[in-house]
Amino acid sequence: MAKIVGVTLSERVVAGLVVDHRLEGDLKCFPEEHEDEYALVEMPADGIVEALRDQVKAAVGAHTDIAGVGVGVPGLVRHGVIEEAPNLPQLKGARMADMLGAALKAEGIDAPVTIQNDADAFAAGIAATTGRLDAVVRVWTLGVGIGYGRYPATDGVWEGGHTVVTLDEKENYCGCGGRGHLEGIMGHRAMRLRFLDLEPEEVFEAARNGDARCCEFKKLWHKALAAATASSIHLRGPGKFYLAGFNVRFVDMGLLKDYLHQMVKMSPLQSYTIEIASDAQETRIIGAAVSARPAD
Structural domain count of the chain: 2
| Distance separating alpha carbons of residues 253 and 248, to the nearest angstrom | 10
Cα radius of gyration rounded to whole Å, the chain: 19
Q: Which amino acid is at 80?
A: G
- Considering the domain architecture, whether residues 107 and 144 belong to the same structural domain is answered as no
Q: Which residue, of 123, 139, 172, is where some domain finishes?
A: 123
- Give the containing element (helix H, strand E) for 123: helix 118-129
- Considering the domain architecture, whether residues 90 and 184 belong to the same structural domain is answered as no
| Distance separating alpha carbons of residues 154 and 157, to the nearest angstrom | 9
| Distance separating alpha carbons of residues 269 and 233, to the nearest angstrom | 7
Q: Is 205 helix (H, G, I), strand (E, B) or coil?
A: helix
DSSP β-ladder status, 240-244 and 137-142: parallel
Give the tens place of pLDDT for each residue, 208-218: 999 999 999 99
Q: Residue 41 — very low, low, confident or very high, per pLDDT cuts 50/70/90? A: confident
- Considering the domain architecture, whether residues 210 and 238 belong to the same structural domain is answered as yes
Determine the pLDDT at residue 34.
66
| Distance separating alpha carbons of residues 206 and 287, to the nearest angstrom | 37
Determine the pLDDT at residue 35.
61
Asked if residue 290 is part of any domain, the answer here is no
The residue count for the chain: 296
Q: Residue 37 — very low, low, confident or very high, per pLDDT cuts 50/70/90? A: low
Is the predicted pLDDT of residue 295 greater than 80, yes or no?
A: no
Query: Domain containing 83: what range?
Result: 3-123
Closest by alpha carbon to 118, among 162, 76, 178?
76
DSSP β-ladder status, 13-19 and 3-9: antiparallel
Give the tens place of pLDDT for each residue, 3-28: 999 999 988 899 999 998 899 999 99
Is the predicted pLDDT of residue 278 greater than 70, yes or no?
A: yes
Tell me the CATH number at 42: 3.30.420.40
Q: Residue 110 — very low, low, confident or very high, per pLDDT cuts 50/70/90? A: very high
Burial class (CB in 10 A: 0-12, 13-18, 19+), 60: buried
Q: Which residue, of 123, 138, 154, is where some domain finishes?
A: 123
Please say whether the dihedral angle defined by the alpha carbons of residues 93, 165, 148 and 118, taken in this order, is positive or negative.
Answer: positive
Determine the pLDDT at residue 163.
96
- Considering the domain architecture, whether residues 92 and 174 belong to the same structural domain is answered as no
- Give me the mean pLDDT over the 118-130 stretch: 93
| DSSP H stretches of helix in 130-274 | 183-186, 188-194, 200-208, 212-236, 253-263
- Give me the mean pLDDT over the 260-285 stretch: 95
- Considering the domain architecture, whether residues 266 and 132 belong to the same structural domain is answered as yes
Residues 215/216/219/224 CA torsion (nearest 10 deg): -140
pTM of the model: 0.86
Q: Which of 78-87, 168-177, 216-225, 274-283 has the highest mean pLDDT?
A: 216-225
- Considering the domain architecture, whether residues 262 and 130 belong to the same structural domain is answered as yes
Q: Which residue, of 72, 93, 123, is where some domain finishes?
A: 123
- Give me the mean pLDDT over the 42-47 stretch: 92
Q: Residue 57 — very low, low, confident or very high, per pLDDT cuts 50/70/90? A: very high
Return the higher-pLDDT residue of 135 and 37.
135
| Distance separating alpha carbons of residues 136 and 132, to the nearest angstrom | 8
- Considering the domain architecture, whether residues 221 and 97 belong to the same structural domain is answered as no
- Considering the domain architecture, whether residues 46 and 106 belong to the same structural domain is answered as yes
| DSSP H stretches of helix in 6-81 | 45-60
First to last CA, the chain: 12
| Distance separating alpha carbons of residues 295 and 136, to the nearest angstrom | 19
- Considering the domain architecture, whether residues 75 and 145 belong to the same structural domain is answered as no
